[in-house]
């Protein structure tokens, strides 16, 4: 087992709270390089233990959609520390099954700090008074309902954890386990996991699945922009059907755009 106490913390004191720098003067970029050099070889569980308990103790959160595969990362984070903050984005357009699953899964895993982030009512009234902005402009809808609320929710943290994986394709195929993004460190502990590994973990741990996963939904987001997908389709099929859109924007917006990886 990897002993994270064998060497001093790298991240302590490097990232300050408050205004986030641009990529040009972002101290998180150099920090990400150093963290990858020391911890880039670790699998998900020891990596999470090190980031949560040592490098970013008290300043790291998991961002989870409580979607089709979210239970794996939630399980691993709960094993590292059940008090780790979990940020859930309630866009106001989610499936009722997702909201129920969030509550049931949080209780099942003993999660102690699930925080729900919602869009600002005034912003919705100004930009989406009819609640149908997703029809003409899905990017704008995602921004007001996901990107902006997440920016506020992450304000107290120096690092955050995501469940993205390389096998999901698109912009995720070159994903690193540790990145710099918008003045923060972003941890992707499942980046190198295969779909089979995800399924094996769910089965071996007896973890409850999202109810829509067995109903043909391979990737589960907001109700208007998610459809069932065929078994022959990709892992994120069914999202924003009929458009070129493949990401909601929380991993692409300027305030958290990943900086170049640089040396490892």
**Residue 222 annotated among the catalytic residues of the structure:** no
| Distance linking the first and last C-alpha atoms of the chain | 23
What is the residue-wise DSSP string for 202-218?
Answer: HHHHTPPPPTTGGGT-S
Q: Among residues 141, 222, 225, 248, which one is catalytic?
A: 248
Distances 221 to 38, 99, 210, 262 between C-alpha atoms, Å: 35, 11, 12, 32
Q: Helix-strand-coil percent breakdown of the chain, rounded to 5?
A: 40, 10, 50
Strands 114-117 and 178-181: unpaired
Distances 156 to 203, 252, 263 between C-alpha atoms, Å: 35, 20, 29
Cβ 59 vs Cβ 157: under 8 Å: yes
The tokens of 108 are what? 């099942």
Instruction: Give the three-state DSSP class for 109.
Output: helix
Please state, in angstroms and rounded to a whole number, the distance separating the CA atoms of residues 233 and 26.
38
Please tell me what DSSP assigns to residue 28.
H
Closest C-alpha among 167, 194, 178, 242 to residue 48? 178
Residues whose CB is less than 8 angstroms from the CB of residue 201 and which lie 6 or more positions away in sequence, other chains included: 72, 75, 207
The tokens of 39 are what? 């911890």
Catalytic residues: 248
């Amino acid at each position: 087992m990897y002993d994270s106490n064998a060497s001093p913390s790298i991240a302590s004191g490097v990232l300050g709270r408050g205004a986030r720098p641009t990529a040009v003067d972002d101290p998180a970029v150099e920090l990400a390089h150093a963290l990858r050099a020391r911890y880039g070889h670790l699998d998900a569980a020891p990596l999470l233990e090190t980031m949560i308990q040592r490098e970013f103790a008290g300043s790291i959160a998991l961002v989870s959609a409580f979607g089709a595969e979210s239970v794996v990362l939630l399980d691993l984070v709960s094993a590292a520390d059940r008090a780790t903050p979990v940020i859930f984005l309630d866009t106001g357009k989610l499936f009722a099954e997702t909201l129920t699953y969030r509550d049931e899964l949080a209780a099942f895993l003993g999660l102690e700090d699930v925080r729900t982030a919602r869009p600002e009512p005034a912003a919705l009234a100004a930009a989406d008074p009819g609640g149908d902005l997703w029809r003409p402009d899905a990017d704008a809808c995602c921004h007001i309902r996901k990107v902006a609320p997440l920016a506020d929710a992450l304000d107290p943290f120096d690092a955050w954890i995501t469940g993205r994986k390389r096998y999901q394709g698109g912009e995720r195929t070159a994903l690193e386990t540790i990145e710099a993004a918008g003045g923060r460190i972003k941890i992707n502990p499942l980046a190198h996991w295969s779909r089979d590994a995800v399924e094996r973990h769910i089965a071996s741990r007896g973890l409850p699945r999202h109810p829509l996963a067995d109903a043909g939904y391979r990737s589960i987001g907001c109700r208007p922009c998610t459809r069932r997908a065929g078994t022959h389709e990709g892992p994120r099929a069914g999202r924003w059907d009929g458009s070129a859109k493949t990401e909601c924007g929380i991993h692409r917006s300027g305030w958290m755009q990943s900086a170049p990886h640089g040396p490892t």
